[in-house]
Structures are given as structure tokens and as C-alpha cells.
A and B are shown apart, each in its own frame.
Chain A
């Protein structure tokens, strides 16, 4: 029994020594009492709104444990009759306002609300049912939002704004009409959501779920005319086991392959080999830039959520974004372009299913750039969770599945390809390659410890033939945003920057089994680095199969052929859909539509002055009444801002000084033409 000191509190009459705990919740959990919560997440700020974590303090009554600091001498009851009563009422109220179609809900069996209702034996709800039925939003490629199931805990709101720095979702309205929604009640596909899925990963209910495509997978597997091939991303192999009672971080590569074969996949391949290929291409790109002395860091492009973020946030970034496709897309491209031929098949006869930790990969696979003659390079993306769903459906006992090995040729990888699964992995793999490519010497010590782990910003400096090359690694788009600000202000300078949208990298992807805490994520990262350590080969440039690919298909890194197959291009995207702002409205028969972009890039480049100048000059030229002048939010021409649109034609670089000539050269002739 513990002794009582001046620094003790009493939890259910047991003395407990305080040790710097900031709130009662962590303290109570430390002594082995699992207080229920909805709105508490160790990675997010404390909100204290769900009232699920209540405890009773003698002399003070009921308080929310997550937002109450402990003070010495406090007497805390975690399961008193009052606590029980309040908890039950809170649960019943939440359930009364929640659509209760548990059996058909995507979160069934994985839902915190259901779980707690069950744990506290709620069998009857004393309050009426909700009478509103709001529309479900399935516009996004990755996430389905059902506001009828939202319990307003705000977890998604804080995840998207605090960790991702974006703020797509927020509370709107007041009183009984409160909702968590994107701006103006728009659909997820109409705003700058990057499909990272982190909001759905923290949502305790079925209000935000990953779009399931399991049925499409079954359909393809049952289609005899298709050769169905799987590619498995690195992070899957250290997490899938969790769904079947194994420890986090346990490497289950063999079992994943075995299970996929038994589900009926014709071939099972490893995305890691495409990661090795990515390193060959990206490192070559990096070295070229260093040699040419191109300004600004090269940003990695493996993470589709980050790529979309960059597209929404502008031009400066895009020209520094590596043109390499992600490993998923490199794989798809190789399979459909070359491997199909070797098999004597058409691309459409091969059906590529990726098994990914990631929800944004669904969006990436659907990007039009990655579809050739109507055939997508990657036909379908399933998350780790969706795969576990298929395994369960099939009745396979995962623990008992015989391990199998990946098929060739896309089955041989190096440790460098595997560490892509954790934040810092891409940069580390690139450094392993860059060193040898530039110096021509063998790199003995391949571990770059300083860019591993969970710190928000990680750095490394490597000496390449006398040049100090500076590398930064960030994960979580909020961290990326901070770094971008520093790069823009000149406060920071790097040559190479790795960005992963999910905190911790792909191991924490929103498609992974729900990770309750940091320890799970850390264990997965350890699993990844362990797999690397066990690999015979640890550098992408040593992968003999990759070398074969170059010999057979691609010539050499960054060759014309490699560019066609493995690289891509980007274009800027509007941040939100919506109407233009009307400034002048002409009712003349002969008129010109003129729109000046006031989107973020253009605005920061002075497009407001451009706009004012247009009005002034239009007056001077006497054409004001013939102008339909609008301010618009993004003409998606941010590379060359400020952008202006005349009828359907977009022009870039129209600063206020250029307006006069622009009117003479483009607007007046257009008006003349209209008259003819």
C-alpha cells in the first residue's frame, strides 16, 4: 500500500502520488481505470465537451476529468452512483440524437459510441429519436460523411486544423441545429480536403468513414477474364496483424501474401520495389538540381495528400515538387505498360488492386493523369482495414495462414524500399543512394537516425563531394505548413524536403487499423526499421531487379522512357468552389467577360491592384459599360499569377502596370470581334 504524502491524491480511496500529470484523466488511467472518452485525444488539444470522462470530486461534485488538473489532497471517485448516473445520461442523450442503424454502419464493431453503450449496458433510451435526416456526402474519393451519426465531439475539427493545419471541418449554426461541416455546407470534394482521412481516423462514430470498395474487389476477383494482381505497400505489413489479435509492429509480410493468394489474387507483388525505383528517379532528379544549382528544395511527391495540398497552395511549391509518380503509380504504370505485354495481355485484362495504409491513394489512383486510353494504371485501392474485412468475410484464420513470398518480377525489394512506410524513410533511402551516386564510394553506415522518429521537424546534413546537402523531414501537414512559411521567409534553407501528410508517415495512415495511442504507431515504426535491418540489401541502387527494369524497359534514370512511364506533372487547384464576385454587370449586346483572380496566389501577387486598375482604365477607355467584370477565386493558373480571364482565355502575369497594354492588346480587340 502506498503511503500518503503531501503530494498525494485519493482515487477511489486509494492514495496515489502525483507525478506531474496535467489532468485527472491521465492520472486515473495510470492507476488502471479506463475512463471512457469521446473528445479526448492525446495528440489534440483538450476540448472537454463530451462529458463522458466525468468523475466525482469530494466537495466539488462532478467534473470532466480531461480538463481538470489534479491538486494534492483531492479525493476522486471514478465510479460513484452520481458518476454512473451522469455517464449513462450523457450516453443516452448522444444516442437519442444519433441515427442508430448499427448493423449496416461502416463502423459497426469498430465504433466507440457502440462500444461504450455496450460497456455501460445501455439497453433503453429514455429520450425521443432525432427527426432530421441530413444528406450523406459521398462526393469524396476517400471519405464518406454522414452528419446523422455525428455526436459533435469536435475530434475531426481539431485533427484537421491542429494537426493538418487545413481546417476543412468546423462547427456551424447554433442550438439544436449545430453541425460539423465544411464551409457553406459544401461537399468534401468541393473544398480543399486532401483526402488524408485523419478526421475519420479519430471520429468515434460512423459520421466520417473511409469509402469502402471491398465489393468492387470481390467482383474483380470473380471475373475470369481478368488477371488480378495485388501490390502491397510497406506500412501494411506491420499493421494488418493488429486486426487479428497480433501485436502492433509485428511483421506479417508472408501471411499477407499467403492470405491474398487464398482470396484469389493471381499475383501478389510488393510496392517496395517501386519505392526502390522511385529512389533511383528522385535521387537522380535531386543530384541534377544540385549540379545545376536550382533554387529551392526538391520536395518529395510520394504522398498524394501532400501533392494535393501543394496543388491547392500554389505555384512556388509545384515547380519544386519532384515529378516522380508515387510508388503506387510507378508500379501500376510498369505493370500495364510492360508486364502486360510480356504476358501477352492487354492492359485492360490486368486488374491492379493496391493494398495501402492510405485513404488519399484512392484519390490518386483516380487522377486522370494515371489513366491511359480509358484504362487506369491502378484499378482499385483497398486500405489495410478493407483487406482485413475481406479476410474476415472469407473466413480465413489469419493467424494460421501459411506464409508465402511475393511473386516475381515485382517481388524483390531492399530495406530502402521498406522504410518508405515511416516518416523519414524516403529521405533516408534517397540519402543512401545520393551518397553513392555522387561520391562513387560505398556507404558503410546506412542508418540516418536523426531523421527517424516522431519529432515534428527532423534534419540531416550530408557531405556530398564537399557540398553540404541539407535535408528536412516533416510529417503532418501542419508541420509542413510551418516549414513552408520558414522557407518562404528565408528563415530556413534546405536542398531536399520529405513531406508525409500523416503524423508519423504511412504507418499512421487513416486506412490502417485504428491506432488507439502513440505506442501502437511507435511499434509499427520499429517494425519497419527492423525489417530494413533484416534485409540483405539496404540500398535501392543495389536492387538487381530494378537494374533489370532499366536494362529491359527504362534505359536509365530520368531517360525519356523513364519520364513517360514514371513521372507526371501537376496543376494548381482552386481551394473552394463557388460563385464569382460581381463588380460590373453589362447589359450591352456587345460585351466582354473579364475575370480577375483573387485566389490566394494571385492575391498575394497583387491581383487586387490589378482589379482596381482594370476599373480605372476601363473608365478611361470608355468601355466600362461593355465589361462584365468579376473577381473570381481561382483560375487555376497560379504558376503565373496574377491571372486574368477574357471570355474563355486565361492570361498570366497581369500586374497592375500591365493592365493598360493588356486592355489595348486583348480586351479592345475582343470587343471589336464581338461586334462583327
Chain B
């Protein structure tokens, strides 16, 4: 009972705490236009993506046109305007990885986490799957990165073992 109450309280407090954080971030970096990129970086860390309404807020506080903030947020690959999953899986598709078969690995991942069509993020916001151009670990090709962890010499089977483990930790025994 007490447990459930706490969970609910946390849920209520999370968006609020994040939003307070946004203010704190802007205050720390100041309102000059050159601070925009570091501010967006930190906001993204907080929300895991850049929600439109938060970008509008940032633009308003910094006295910039929202179109400028939107331009910057869509220019850099590191920024995402869509929510990202708890696990961000990056599959390297640089030349070395591609030649060594990154495609089948990608397909295996997408199948295992249940992604269809053009989508990059699962509906339950657990996984985001992206291809990137080079992770700089060509010696280990093909390479997959899950959050900050690098996995080298991947095959469809090998990645499935790793994903199974994550899903198990998530309490999703399939």
C-alpha cells in the first residue's frame, strides 16, 4: 500500500522535477544565443528527447524565434524531437560494419524488440533502434551500441542473447 502510494507520488513529481531542471539549466548557461546547443544537450539528457513544448519554452525564455531553436534541434543528429526508448540501440552502418553484415543484425534487433515499418522507437518507449554512420570501432565490426555499452563482432544470434537478457531484466520473459 505504502509502496503503491510512493510510486504514484513519484510519477506525479517526475514531469515537474524535469521542468524545474529546464529552468535551472537555462539559468546556468545564460541566455546568449551561443548557449543554445549546450542547453539543448542538457534538456535532452533530462527528457531523453526534445519535446516541442519545452523547445518553445526555451525559445521564449531565451528570446529567440522558435524556428531558430527548431532549426538547431533538427540540424544535429544527436538531438531527437521524438521520445527515445530507455534502451537506445545504435547499429553501425559504416563501410566496415556494412560489409561484415550489419544489416542482418539490424533486422534481428528490430524483430526481437517488435519494430515494424518506419518506426524507430517501440510504443512502450523501451527501445529505440537507429543506424549510425561510424562508431569508430571498425576493428570489431559489426558493432552495436546499447546505451553506453559497445558490443563487437555481432551476429543475429549473438545480439539475440544480449537482448534476451535485457528483456529478462525488464521482467518481460518471453
Chain A residues proximal to chain B, CB less than 8 Å:
161, 166-174, 181-184, 191, 575-576, 578-587, 598-600, 603, 608, 612, 615, 624-625, 629, 631, 633
Contact = CB atoms under 8 A, between A and B. Distances in A.
A184 B66 contact: yes
Contact of B70 (A172, A174, A581): A172
Interface stretch (B37-45, B55-63, B143-151): B55-63
B53 A173 contact: no
Given A184-B52, A631-B57, A167 B16 contact: no
A580 B52 CA distance: 10
A582 B16 CA distance: 7
A583 B16 contact: yes
B10 to A, nearest CB: 12
Given A167-B65, A170-B68, A184-B66, A579 B53 contact: yes
A51 B12 CA distance: 54
13 contacts: A161-B65, A170-B67, A172-B74, A173-B74, A183-B56, A575-B60, A576-B66, A578-B52, A581-B51, A581-B57, A586-B12, A600-B60, A631-B57
A581 B61 CA distance: 14
B15 A182 contact: no
A394 B47 CA distance: 60
Given A171-B75, A191-B67, 9 more contacts: A161-B65, A173-B75, A174-B74, A183-B70, A184-B81, A585-B12, A599-B60, A633-B57, A633-B60
A599 B59 CA distance: 11
Given A583-B15, A608-B23, A603 B66 contact: no
B12, B53, B55, most chain A CB atoms within 10 A: B53
Contacts of A168: 65, 67
Contacts of B12: 584-586, 624-625
A608 B55 CA distance: 16
A183 B16 contact: no
A578 B56 contact: yes
B54 interface: yes
Nearest to A629: B16
B97 to A, nearest CB: 20
Contacts of B74: 172-174
B53 A581 contact: yes
B69 A183 contact: yes
Contact of A603 (B19, B61, B69, B70): B61
Contact of B66 (A183, A586, A587): A183
Interface residues of B, number: 31
Contact of B15 (A584, A608, A612): A584
B139 interface: no
Nearest to B20: A612
Nearest to A167: B65
Contacts of B52: 184, 578-579
A161 B68 CA distance: 10
Contacts of A169: 67
Contacts of A585: 11-12, 15
Nearest to B71: A170
A166 B53 contact: no
A412 B23 CA distance: 59
Contacts of B57: 581, 598, 631, 633
A186 to B, nearest CB: 9
B15 A631 contact: no
A633 B57 CA distance: 8
Nearest to A583: B16
Contacts of A586: 12
Contacts of A584: 12, 15-16
Given A173-B74, A184-B52, A167 B19 contact: no
